[in-house]
Amino acid sequence: MVNVYDKLMNMKDQSKLLLGLIQKKGPVTRNQIMDAVGMKLTTLKRFMQPLLDEGFIIEADMGKSTGGRPPKLYDVNPKGSYVIGIDISRTYTETVITNLKMGIIDLHRFESPHDPADTVNQISLYVKDALCRLGIAKSLVLGAGIGTVGPLDRKKGIILNPANFPSNSWINVPINDMLRQRLGLPIVIDNGANAAVLAEHLFGTGKGIDNISYFHCGVGIRTGAISSGNIVRAINEYEDAFGHMIIDINGELCHCKNRGCIETMCSIPSITKKFKKLLEQRHSSSDDESKSLDRIDYLYICNAAEQGDKLAKEVILNAATHFGIGLANYINLINPELVVLSGPIVEHSPLFYKTAVEAASKRRYIKSSRVAFSRGGYFKDKAIAVGAAALLVEETLVS
């Protein structure tokens, strides 16, 4: 049986263009499609027909009548083809199966990073089981996208040397080849923040907005940006440059060898370290207290701050204010229309989000420019995995 990837690859560029438009804008009428792409009706019908014949699009419904016969509405077939999205983070791996509208059909998350071979094994076992359980033929799966921590060699599909991975086995990992061999599907890779901002831009909070910035606040500070509708790419797909913006020349030493980087103040490790240090200074040290300190994590600190604990609030407010100062500098340079703040710290600390937004808004240079903020965006903690699936579709449609 011919799979959907090969079917799509054998289509004319015009048909793939139409599929991309219907995927993002559907349900739409033929007139709306003609207005968007500038095709005549006869040409439009010629390039739409293969999409209908192969089941990529369907007649979804009837539109509103403007006086005559109601027009037909076209949309992607929700059961015509599927995509796999994979988020390999510093603390977990998440895999989703979506349809072409990026609706999540199934999801699986496990703690990571295990070594690469074990991670690939767990992903492939889940995919095989899920497709069987859902009754989805493998021939209907377009491929898989990966969103992960940079730096990357995106063209070769290699994870180079990501910082702050608990395991040192994630160096020069040919992750694309490993997954392609196990899944037998086309694979693409990008850094996770790029994947997430793409998902929000095409299908989420930023739909219809051409200038978006996305920040994932977790073990590191990861950043992705859409400018004039295009992903802004850095050398080697680094996504943590913002986290290494220096805002205190006398600050703590960062693993990048500079002092006072945002990441030394606003990441999960830095917040946890600061809280424990202040707690030790304010209480006498003992073996019991040392054991208690070992049990303290960022979730404890976030929850304590929300419940009014003075020390926890002090630490969160300090971290969020410094993050907001860096964010103001970023906004002054990039001038995004929408800023999405996401990641574990934002998810579990409303105080961090509120304080960071207030600090950034107060310190922006051009106060007249309008910037919208979103806590988590539309896809929340699933944005990287969904964005990885969207990335696979986008690269397939233009190849």
State the pLDDT at residue 399. Answer: 82
State the pLDDT at residue 163. Answer: 84
Q: Answer whether 4-76 and 208-377 agree in fold.
A: no
State the pLDDT at residue 289. Answer: 55
State the pLDDT at residue 68. Answer: 61
pTM: 0.94
Spelled out in words, what is the top-level CATH class assigned to the domain 208-377?
alpha beta
State the pLDDT at residue 93. Answer: 96
State the pLDDT at residue 153. Answer: 93
- Average pLDDT of each block of 10 consecutive residues along the chain (399 residues)? 92 97 95 95 97 95 65 94 96 96 97 87 97 98 96 94 86 97 98 97 96 96 95 79 92 92 96 93 60 84 97 98 96 94 97 97 77 97 98 94
In CATH, which of 3.30.56.10, 3.60.150.10, 3.30.420.40, 3.40.1010.10 is domain 82-200+382-398? Answer: 3.30.420.40
CATH annotation of 4-76: 1.10.10.10
CA distance 184 to 264: 41
The residue extents of the domains of the chain are 4-76, 82-200+382-398, 208-377
